[in-house]
Structure formats: structure tokens, C-alpha cells
Structure 1
Amino acid sequence: MNAKADYQHEPADGGALRFTGSLSLATLGDLPERLDREDAPVRRLDLSGVDRIDTVGAWLVQRFAARNDATIEGLNDDQRNLIDKVIEADQPVAMRPKPIGSFWRVAGEVGDAVITAFKTLYGLLGFMGATVLALLAVIRHPRRFRFNAVVHEFETVGVTALGIVGLMSFLIGIVIAQQGAVQLRQFGAEIFTINLVGRLTLRELGVLMTAIMVAGRSGSAFAAQLGTMKLTEEIDAMRVIGVSPMEVLVLPRALAAVTLMPLLGFYSSLIAIIGGGFLAAVSLGIPPVTFVSRIREVVPITDLYVGLIKAPVFGAIIAIAGCFQGMQVKSDAEQVGQRTTSAVVQAIFLVIVLDAFFAVFFTWIGWD
């Protein structure tokens, strides 16, 4: 049977406590309370007289030694290993924070979202500036212009998008004409459906819906491509060999989007007008010749200018947002999906905000 744990205080021996017996849970007795009441100075704990020690006893000795800044002596290898494990495990426990009310929790989340939005906007503006600097560098050194890369992006952004953009625009033209005709029929003014289709598609929806479609197709592709290259360290390798990723990867995509967005927007507007003319001929009995003649009369050329001015700005925003989010990928493949989603959402949000700004601006200068 193991002897009960005990200790003797020997102040003459440099303030030492000599433990005896078994320092185990079953034999500790009132030893913890006695140690808590010990107020004499102690500099050494001698465990050479201890028969057995378990985890509880080791924790008790280690806690007392830490409180009095004392050293532990007289340990064999097994006891020393146990004391070391206890010291390693004796760390502060993270306490669960006090729950906060729903109002403050929501307010905190809103504040975090606002801060994240401003940081993202700041980074996007910096990335836009870096893109402009890369363009200026290419203008100063034309040999560095990647013509083949730009042509390849022309196909990605423009040629392969013709089918889906055309189908979407044709259906939107039909919907605008049908809904407009239903409402205008109440006043006997179905003929003004042509005005609605012509002005709305050329001025707003043609370019706006094309920008949203390009953001979903090309903006997400830019983010995924550059994000994958970041994960595989291809972009870092470019920097090591002295090649600028902004000139090689970002600039061709931005130039392709800026160049092709006006063409895609104009193409989308024409197809939407054709869709509206198709419904006008089938549902309203308006011949195509009359429809085209009416379009020429009621749609001012400024509506076309408005669409063509907005389109390259939308293209630049889509390309820069996609490339910026792709460049932010850092750790794992999951971030590629997250950044791709962020690129699409960010591009569409900025396109709609800029479209509202353009609407106010063109009305202010008299192009309404």
C-alpha cells in the first residue's frame, strides 16, 4: 500500500520542501490545502523521497513551483517526463466570450461588411492604377505588346459570346414589346411600343444586359484563370524571370473587354430591336418596313452614343474586377471559387452603379 503524501519544510536548506510518500490522487489527502496555506519562502521542491507520482500529483507540484518560482529536483526520468508533459499542457484555456445581443451582433456584422467593402474598393482602385501604368509602359515600349494574347481574348470575350448574347437580346426585345403593348393598348397607343423598344434597348438594356452577361462569362473566367495560376505559382515564376504579370495577363484581357464591349452592346441592341419587331409583326400587325421607319424617326442618334460611351467603361470594370479577384487568391482551391463569385458580384454591382451615374449625367447634359 502506498504511503500517504506529505512534505517537510526545511528553511535552513535554502527554503526547501521535501515531499515523501505517494503523490497520487488516492493518497493526497489534505496536501493541496496545506500547500495553499504555505506562506514560508520556498526555492526548491525535492521529490527524491516520493515513491509514486501521477498526473494530479505532478500538476499540484508544478502549480506550487510556478507560484513560488521554485525549482523541482530529485526526479527520475519518468517523473521528469511527466512533469514536462504537465508543464506543456498547463496553458490558459480560451473561454467562450459572453454572448452579445442580436442588435449588436448584426451591427458588428454590418460594420465588418462596410470595412471589407472599402478595403476592396481601395484595392480595386490600386489595381486599376497598376493596369493604367502597365498600359503606359507598353505604349512606351511597343515591342512588349502581346498582340496574340489580345486576339485570343477577343475570341474568349466576343466571338464565343455572340450566340448567348444574341439569344438573350432577342428574347428581351420580345418581352419589352409584349409588355409594352399590353400596357399601351389600354390607351390605344400600341404604336408607341416601337418607341419603347428602340429607345430602351439602344440606350439602356442592350449595353447593360450585355455587360451582365460578359461579367458572368468572361469576368468569372478571368478570375478563375488567374486564381489557378496564382495557386500553381505561375505568376510568381513570371516575376522571377522578369516578366510583368500586369502586361502579360491583365492588360490583354482589359483591352479585349474594352474593345469588344461597344461591339457586343451594339449587336445586342440590334438583335433586341429585331426581337421587338418580330413580336410587333406577329402580335400587333405592324409590318417590318413600318417598324424600321418608325425606329428611324423616334430614336435619336444620341441614344446610340450613350450606349457606345458606356460600353467600354463597363468592359474595363468587368475585366479589372475579374483580374483583381483572381490575383487575390492565396491559399487553396476553395478560394478560386470564392474569388470567382466575388468577381461576378463586384462587376455587376459596379456596372449597375455606373449605369445609374451615366443616366443622371446624360440627363444633366441634355441627352435625354
Structure 2
Amino acid sequence: MANLSADPKLRATVLADGLRLAGEFTVWTLGQLPPEAKTARLLDLSELIRLDTAAAWYLVGRQAEGVRLDGLDPSRARLLETVRRALPRPDAETAGPAGWRLMLEQTGRRMAAALVFLREIAEYLGRFLAALARAIRHPGDFRLTSLVWHIQETGLRAVPIVALMSFLIGVVLAFQGAAQLRQFGAEVFVIDLIAISVLRELGILLTAIIVAGRTASALTASIGSMKMNEEIDAMRTLGLDPDMVLILPRVLALVITLPILGLIANLAGLVGGALMSWIELGISPSMFRYRLLADTSVDHVIVGLSKAPVFALIIGIIGCHAGMKVGKDAESLGAETSRAVVNAIFAVIVADALFSIFFAEVGL
């Protein structure tokens, strides 16, 4: 029968129940096997004059698929056995821990991952501070245009949602406070409730949460897309420092704008509370203003706004860190964006709790 192989050194003929190979069956002729070799259930090797380890590896694989090998002399059979023993074998799967051991292992892994995350956040905070110090020493390296643009994006464009949110929070506080205090004839104290809640806690905290959801995702997406397109590598090639170009303007813009947004939120919350107090309790705006100035200490404003720069640093550093962690695919970008928002909001809430404990201990 005709030779089915494309290489004259290897001859392949079809048998009734398989394929006969003759000549040299080596790494050079392995790719010239005819298509019939894929479906053959028997390979006759009695006429081979040469067989190397590459062809032996192929034959061992076919034998594992149930193909019968005929005509092997003892030396070639030993070669196949040597190749079979040399094939890598997967490690035997050991049973993992279960029950309380599994819980402890998972807890340990999460704690280790959290410590690694904190170390990386500390590293990025150090990089931001180093870039800030360099910008102070060499003002010509600082990109003022980028800072102004990010102030507009993170600050000016966030004013409507922050003001509306805080206004509604003031309305809700006044309405719910009036419903409870009316039972004791102490409706006038709703002003103190609104003032302390908005100025000390809710104004800046909810503003930071909104900025974390809005800006942390934007920071991750913008830096992450540049990372995917290898633009950051191109910056380094051109001698540009990504910390100066990317991290410093974004984080510094947040540090500047978040206190301003917090102040706007405080004013909007007080306006919403005053409006609902007027509608629900009949407390006039002049009475609301008088009680606010007489009974509310400026310490509450200081306590609330002093948290803003720290919250801004947390949000900006976490967002930039997540952007730098993005890989080469869109799935990584989406995962890091979601992770940045969750981590930023969680970190802001934890920081607010620590601030509350600290101010309570120092008597503010």
C-alpha cells in the first residue's frame, strides 16, 4: 500500500485493524504521522529501524489511551518503560483540614492577607509623602494643572450628591427625633440632636463614604486602565515618576476637597434639619439658629472636620494602591475596583470609630 507519511524516512501503511509504522520514528518524523494515526487502535512497530524518546513518549501516551502496540523488541520495550517511569505524576492530594482546623486555617490566611495589605498601604503612604516632599523641594516637578483637574473631578462634581444626601439626613434626623422627643415634651432638644449628629459624625462620615464609593473606584479605574495599556511602564521609560504624576495629584486633591465637602455637608444637614423642625415642630428658623449658636460648641465642628484629611488619605491611598495592582485583563480591573470601594468604605468606618474613642478619651 502507499506510504501515508509526508516524510520518506517514516513509512505508514493502513492495516485492517490499525496502522503499521516502518523506518525512522523520531522527533523529526513524529509530526509527519498521517491523520489515521489519531484513530488507529493498533500500531504495528515491527519494521521500525529507529525509535527515540520523543516518539516513545508519543507511544506511551497512545498506549495509555488503550492503543495496542505490536512488534516491539525488548530494547524498545525497555525504552518505552523508561519513558513511562520518567513521566511526571501529580502529587497525591492530601485531605485538607476540616471543622475547627479549617476555620483556624482560613482565619490565619485572612489575617496574613490583611497584614500584607496594611504593609502595602503603608508603602503607598510613604511613596505619597516622599513625592510630596519632593514637590515641596522642587516645585517645578509638581503638576498644578493635574491637581486642579482632580480637584474639579473629586470635589466640585461631588457637591450636588453630597449636599442632597446631607440635606435628607438632616430631614430624617429632625423627623425621627421629633417623633421620639415629643413623648417627653422636649421637642426643642431636636436642635441639639441634629447639630451634634451632623457636625460631629454623620456629616463628614457619610461624605467620606460617598467619596469613597465615587472616587476610590474612579482612581482604581483610571490608574488600572493605564496599567493595562502599559502606559505606566512607558512613563518610567521616559524618566517620569508615577508617584509624582499619578499618586500625588490625586491624593492631594482629595485632602484639599474632602474638608470642603464636609463643610458643605454640615451646612446642608443643618438646613434640612431646620426646615423639617419648622414644618414638624413649628420651630422657626430664627429659634433654630439661636439654639444652635447658644447650645452647640464649636468643638463639634472641629472634631468633625479634623477627620476629613485622614479620611481623604485613606480613600486616595487605597484607590491608587488598587489601581497599581490591576493586571493585564479587564477582569482584574473590575475585581480591583470593587475591592477598592469595599476596602475604602470599611477603612473609613474603622477610622471614624477610632476617632470617636480618641476624642472621648481626651474629652472632646
TM score, norm. by length of structure 2:
0.78
Matches within 5 A, 1:154-303: 154-303=151-300
Of 89-98 and 144-153, the range deviating more from structure 2: 89-98
Q: 1:101 aligns with which of 86, 98, 102?
A: 98
**Percent identical across equivalent pairs?**
43
Q: Measured at CA, do residues 73 and 238 of structure 1 come closer, stay the same or move farther in structure 2, by a change above 3 Å?
A: same
Assess if the C-alpha contact under 8 Å between 1:58 and 1:86 holds in 2. Answer: no
Contact 2:171 2:276 in 1 (8 A): yes
C-alpha spacing 1:241/1:73, structure 2 compared with 1 (3 Å): same
Q: How many residues align?
A: 309
Structure 1 residues 88 and 161: alpha-carbon distance in aligned structure 2, compared to 1, 3 A threshold: farther
For 1:91 and 1:261, the matched residues in 2 are separated by 58
Q: What is aligned with 1:22?
A: none
Q: Report the secondary structure of 2:240's partner residue.
A: coil
Written as runs of structure 1 = structure 2, the 5 A alignment for 1:66-77 is 72-73=75-76
Q: Which moved more, 1:353-362 or 1:158-167?
A: 353-362
**Matched AA of 2:357:** V
Q: Distance in 2 between matches of 1:140 and 1:162?
A: 33
CA–CA distance in structure 1, aligned partners of residues 189 and 314 of structure 2: 35
Note if contact 2:277-2:283 (Cα within 8 Å) is conserved in structure 1.
yes
Distance 1:225 1:89, change over 3 A: farther
- State how far apart, in whole Å, the 2-side matches of 1:182 and 1:95 are: 67
Q: Could you tell me which of 343, 347, 351 is aligned with 1:346?
A: 343
Gap change, CA 1:102 and 1:331, over 3 Å in 2: farther
**How far apart, CA to CA, are the structure 1 residues paired with 2:61 and 2:345?**
65
How much is the aligned-residue C-alpha RMSD, in angstroms?
Answer: 3.2
Return the alpha-carbon distance in structure 1 between the equivalents of residues 336 and 61 of structure 2. Answer: 53
2:121 is aligned to 124
- Given that 2:128 and 2:247 are in contact with CA atoms closer than 8 Å, whether structure 1 keeps it comes out as yes
Between the aligned partners of 1:131 and 1:336, the Cα distance in structure 2 is 22
Sort the Cα spacing of 1:88 and 1:343 in 2 relative to 1 into closer, same or farther, 3 A: farther
C-alpha separation between the residues in 1 aligned to 2:77 and 2:337? 63
Q: Which moved more, 1:273-282 or 1:329-338?
A: 329-338
- 8 Å CA contact retained: 2:318, 2:343: yes
Gaps of 5+ in 1: 1-24, 27-46, 61-70
Distance 1:339 1:152 in 2: 24
Show the counterpart of 2:328: 331
Report the CA distance shift for 1:162/1:85 in structure 2 as closer, same or farther (over 3 A): farther
Distance of 1:232 and 1:57 partners within structure 2 = 41
CA distance in 2: counterparts of 1:173 and 1:85, whole angstroms: 80
Change (3 A) 1:276 1:88: farther
Going from structure 1 to structure 2, the CA distance change for 1:101 and 1:170 (only over 3 Å counts) comes to same
Larger radius of gyration: 1
Provide the rounded CA distance (Å) in 2 between the counterparts of 1:147 and 1:58. 68
- The normalised TM-score by structure 1 is 0.77
- Per the TM alignment, residue 366 of structure 1 is displaced from its structure 2 partner at its CA by 2.2
Structure 1 residues 169 and 58 mapped into 2: Cα distance closer, same or farther (>3 Å)? closer
Deviations along 1:150-182, one digit per CA (max 9) or x if unpaired, are 000011111110111111111111111111112
For the 8 Å contact 2:60–2:84, the answer to whether it is kept is no
Q: Please say if 1:134 is aligned against 2:144.
A: no
Q: Which digits, 9 at most, give the CA deviation of each residue in 1:55-80, with x for residues without a partner?
A: 679969xxxxxxxxxx94599xxxx9
* Distance change (3 Å), C-alpha of 1:267 and 1:84: farther
1:96 is displaced (CA, Å) by 3.8
CA displacement 1:250-308 (0-9 Å, x = unmatched): 10011110001111001001101111111101111111111111111111011111122
Matched AA of 1:142: P
The 1:88/1:216 distance shift into structure 2, 3 A limit, reads farther
Measure how far apart 1:246 and its partner are. Answer: 0.5
What letter corresponds to residue 200 of structure 1 in structure 2? Answer: S
**2:146 counterpart of 1:146:** no
CA displacement 1:196-215 (0-9 Å, x = unmatched): 00111011110000000000
SS in 1 for 2:115: helix
Does residue 362 (structure 1) correspond to residue 364 (structure 2)? The answer is no
- Distance in 2, Cα, partners of 1:58 & 1:272: 76
Q: 1:242 to 1:104 in 2, by over 3 A?
A: same
1:36-61 deviation line (CA, Å, top 9, x unaligned): xxxxxxxxxxx98xxxx99679969x
